[in-house]
Amino acid sequence: MSRHRFHLDHGGHSVTVNLRHGLHTEIELLVDGKEVGLQRVHGHGPWTMADVLPDDPPKPFTVRITQDDGPGCVLLTDGLERPMPTTPD
């Protein structure tokens, strides 16, 4: 099984995406260390997941996971795309 972890701090919040490849591909989305989404996906992507940052009012965001030249992840919020660096497991 291969694993990839992407992480970015944004607006005082921590956003983490864990991508696990094995028999199935799973994407786990965490905000401030709490799981807010888990998807089992098929194919080679790209895949997206959306949630909100716990601000007042809550701020929507999306992460896009690609596999073009190896796994990559981008955070989309406030009209901007911010690459999420790979971090150690």
* Domain ranges within the chain, ordered by starting residue: 2-84
Give the tens place of pLDDT for each residue, 29-75: 999 999 999 999 988 889 999 999 999 999 999 999 998 778 899 99
| Burial class for 63, CB neighbours closer than 10 Å (0-12, 13-18, 19+) | buried
- What is the DSSP code (8-state) at residue 70? B
On whether the CB atoms of residues 70 and 19 are closer than 8 A, the answer is no
pTM of the predicted model, to two decimals? 0.92
Give the tens place of pLDDT for each residue, 2-31: 899 999 999 999 999 999 988 889 999 999
CATH code of 2-84, in short, is: 2.40.128.180
